[in-house]
Amino acid sequence: MANNKQKEVDQNLRQFIKDLGYIAGGGAILSTMPWLQSFTPAMAQSIRHEKARIGLIGTGSRGQYHIHNLLMMPHAQIVALCDDYAPNLQAASALVPSAKTYTDYKKLLESNEIDGIVISTPLHLHAQQTLDSLDAGKHVFCEKAMALTMEECKTVYEAYQKTDKVLYYCMQRMFDEKYIKGIGMIHSGIIGEVVGARCHWFRNHNWRRPVPSPELERRINWRLYWDYSGGLMTELASHQLEVANWANQRTPSSVCGMGDIVFWKDGREVYDSMSLVYRYGNGTKITYESLISNKFNGMEDQILGHKGTMNLATGTYFLEDVNSNQSGIQQLINQIGNRVFSAIPAAGASWRPETRDTYRPHFVMGNRNFSVTEGSSMIGAEADGSDAILSAFCQSCITGEKATEVVEECYSATLLCLLGNQAVAEQTTIAFPEEYKISHMKF
């Protein structure tokens, strides 16, 4: 059933993007997020009598989430559904009884009644299904990540460059209002020069789904096995590395790291604990950490600047007091007054606090702190941009307009995830390979 609150999210975002064009620096901000340019109320108005006819491939948990969102969009019509696992196809069909059902996606692609395909299958199928859909003359919206191997990413990217069809990847932070505004503020200089990024995703959940019979284990729990999944990197880090690059306006040139199965020793192959460092050419780094047996630290995307820190996931930022005119001793008195330290540390005459201070949060949107602390859902979070990016895809199915840089951002993030996994497996530092560089990337 239509949920007006979510419709509003989409409309609010359109209004926000329209407003961006008018406020000081809006043009400059939009120039670093060109995929938003056409996503305006005026465009929504001009296509209001048209509908993108959509076919979905993969109607599991994320596919059904997309169905719920599509059902709320006035410019979308779900006409076909495909899944080769009967319980999931039946569940999706119950949501859209009018849609034709298929068990073979190639048969669905033969239909002339479909403009755009939404792919929500396990990662190992993304590349082939995207290529087949483009070949069939359809526009494509595929879930992240782009593909399971670097070679496949390159093949898909080359196909995309040759096609006149639209291709989107579900990198929803690119359409998440708090991320758009927060990164706009970073690009306007609010936190000064970007000097690093700290991204992490902590959960306390085994990442498993119940399996009705043992032979379905790999099919249902595909995330846990390397033949189908890139583990924590492609499932979680892909979003966060994309954001770090978007903020930095660069692509890291090397990566090293470690990965282990430290707790969930249940037959899975993918790591449940990963710590990596991505290094940009100018020396700034992304420290990335993911652990799924302790959720204390939740999920955060922190961009660090020499004047402050932007916490994109919570929509808050914190300014450093680096230009304070106070003397060292006055700072010390203030710190003690604020009970930051329990004892007076012995230091030189020009003492300055070096350990963590207590920062007052500023808010990116109104007076709101988004409590995205855990991010434990395997389906996706509410109002995280997933509905807006899908809505933008449906608009593109009608207009035929490509989404500038969405594919490039996903290509870069996916390559970095796969390189991270490779660096961990080989226990070495890996430089970004020349053969996978694209002109979009700045190192």
The four Cα atoms 87, 88, 90, 96 give a dihedral, to 10 degrees, of 170
Binding residues for ligand NAD, rule CB under 6 A, total: 26
Report if residue 388 touches ligand NAD, rule: CB under 6 A: no
Report if residue 149 touches ligand NAD, rule: CB under 6 A: no
Report if residue 231 touches ligand NAD, rule: CB under 6 A: no
Q: Per-residue contact track with ligand NAD, 402 to 421, x per CB under 6 A?
A: --------------------
Interface of this chain with ligand NAD, residues 233 to 262, rule: CB under 6 A? 235
Question: Least separation, in Å, of the C-beta of 108 and ligand NAD?
Answer: 9
At a CB cut-off of 8 Å and minimum separation 6, what does 382 contact? 6
Interface of this chain with ligand NAD, residues 266 to 295, rule: CB under 6 A? none
Report if residue 226 touches ligand NAD, rule: CB under 6 A: no
Concatenating the DSSP letter of every residue in 299-355 gives: EEEEEEETTEEEETTTTEEEE--TT--S-HHHHHHHHHHTTS-SSPPP--TT----S
Task: Return d(Cα 160, Cα 105) in angstroms, integer.
Answer: 20
Q: Which of 216, 258, 254 is nearest to 233 (CA)?
A: 258
DSSP 8-state class, residue 359: P
Question: Least separation, in Å, of the C-beta of 201 and ligand NAD?
Answer: 11
Report if residue 60 touches ligand NAD, rule: CB under 6 A: yes
Pick from 76, 125, 140, 372 the residue near ligand NAD by CB under 6 A: 125
In the bound state with ligand NAD, the residue whose beta carbon lies nearer, of 61 and 155, is 61
Report if residue 105 touches ligand NAD, rule: CB under 6 A: yes
Say how many C-beta atoms besides its own lie within 10 A of residue 388's C-beta: 27
In the bound state with ligand NAD, the residue whose beta carbon lies nearer, of 172 and 395, is 172
Q: Residue 207 — left, alpha, or beta (φ > 0 → left; ψ -120 to 50 → alpha)?
A: left
The separation between the first and the last C-alpha atoms of the chain, rounded to the nearest angstrom, is: 46
Question: Least separation, in Å, of the C-beta of 107 and ligand NAD?
Answer: 11
Question: Segment contacting ligand NAD (CB under 6 A): 4-12, 53-61, 295-303, 317-325?
Answer: 53-61
Question: Least separation, in Å, of the C-beta of 66 and ligand NAD?
Answer: 9
Burial of 400: CB neighbours in 10 Å, binned 0-12, 13-18, 19+:
exposed
Question: Segment contacting ligand NAD (CB under 6 A): 16-24, 56-64, 280-288, 402-410?
Answer: 56-64
Task: Return d(Cα 423, Cα 107) in angstroms, integer.
Answer: 40
Q: Which residues bind ligand NAD (CB under 6 A)?
A: 57-63, 82-85, 88, 105, 120-123, 125, 143-144, 170, 172, 235, 378-380
